[in-house]
Amino acid sequence: MDTDSRIEETVARDSGRAMAGVRHQLSGDFALLRRWRPVRKARAGIAAVAAATVVVSMNHMTGPTGAMWWHAVIVAAGSILAGLLVGSYLGAPIGAEATVCDTRWPLTGLTGLVIATSTDPGTLAAHLFTSAAPILLAAVIQPAFALLSLALLGWALRKRLQLERMALTPSTGGASGDACTACRPLFPARTGTLRGPSTPYRRRSQADVSPPFPLPRGQVRDGSGDRTDTGGQFPRLQAHRT
């Protein structure tokens, strides 16, 4: 009994630590989202509305067949996650820039939402699972796609927020995030944006090196513009000036 009780206490302690870690990470994610600029929040909202519009237009939820109540819940939750995920790509800090590889997660998640909430016979789910019975499609396949799509979008958003938090947190150990280094940037920086204002090249003329006023006898101006005493070593030049 003592051994069993110690095992139960250990399991309860480990599960409590795991839940505390999850709550800490979620609170950090929500705090980071609240610190987004208003422009970034507005872009995420626009992306969420656009995602919901695309999903509803492709799964025919507003058609004559109608949709189940949980279809609307899945579309709303998935659209919010997709909007936040797209918002994490826009205006990301240095070190958390989005890459082309990151676009696969919202595209895959929204495609899964379309399959999970399709109702009409001519939709994507009906074409993909033509041999499946309607009851099997509605009771097993589509709920599985719904859960997998939400999990994928949530996981991708969490990874993006974690990468952004690492980019904003000063690190002394030189640790880097999990950004993909083999993919092209989603928003490549324009050439010359980090440079200062450029001035057109102009050939130096004689006016640039010639003195603006006559120099005393025995002095000439070198290439850098400084006066140099010749000490009488150029009698011809002095004679020419005289």
181 within domain boundaries? no
- Amino acid, single-letter form, for residue 217: R
Q: Are residues 131 and 52 in the same domain?
A: yes
CA distance 152 to 150: 5
Residues 156 and 220 in one domain: no
pLDDT at 87: 94
Domain check: are 212 and 111 in the same one? Answer: no
Average pLDDT over residues 196-204: 42
- Give the model's pLDDT for residue 82: 96
CA distance 37 to 45: 13
- Among 61-70, 75-84, 191-200, the range of highest mean pLDDT: 75-84
Verify that 151 and 222 share a domain, yes or no.
no
Q: How many domains does the chain have?
A: 2
| pLDDT computed for residue 76 by the predictor | 95
Cα gap 57→50, rounded to integer Å = 11
Q: Which domain holds residue 95?
A: 8-168
The answer to whether position 187 is within a domain reads no
Q: Distance of alpha carbon 108 from its chain centroid, rounded?
A: 17
Asked if residue 76 and residue 136 are part of one domain, the reply reads: yes
Give the mean pLDDT of the chain: 75
Beta bridge partners of 154: none
Residues 215 and 100 in one domain: no
**What is the rounded distance in angstroms from the CA atom of residue 114 to the CA atom of residue 107?**
11
CA–CA distance, 29 with 68 (Å, rounded to integer): 31
**Relative orientation angle of helices 142-168 and 104-117, to the nearest 10 degrees:** 160
User: Based on the domain organization, do 49 and 115 belong to the same domain?
Assistant: yes
Residue 59 maps to a domain: yes
Within-domain flag for 140: yes
Tell me the CB-side half-sphere exposure of residue 1, using CA atoms within 13 A.
0
The Cα–Cα gap between 75 and 146 comes to 9
Q: Is residue 64 part of a domain?
A: yes
Q: What percent of the chain has pLDDT over 70?
A: 61
pLDDT in tens, 145-176: 999 999 999 999 999 999 998 888 866 454 44
Q: Which helix (H) or strand (E) holds 220?
A: strand 219-221
Tokens of 58: 């492709």
Say if residue 132 is in the same domain as residue 233: no
Q: Mean pLDDT over residues 191-196, rounded?
A: 38
Confidence of residue 6 (pLDDT cuts 50, 70, 90): low
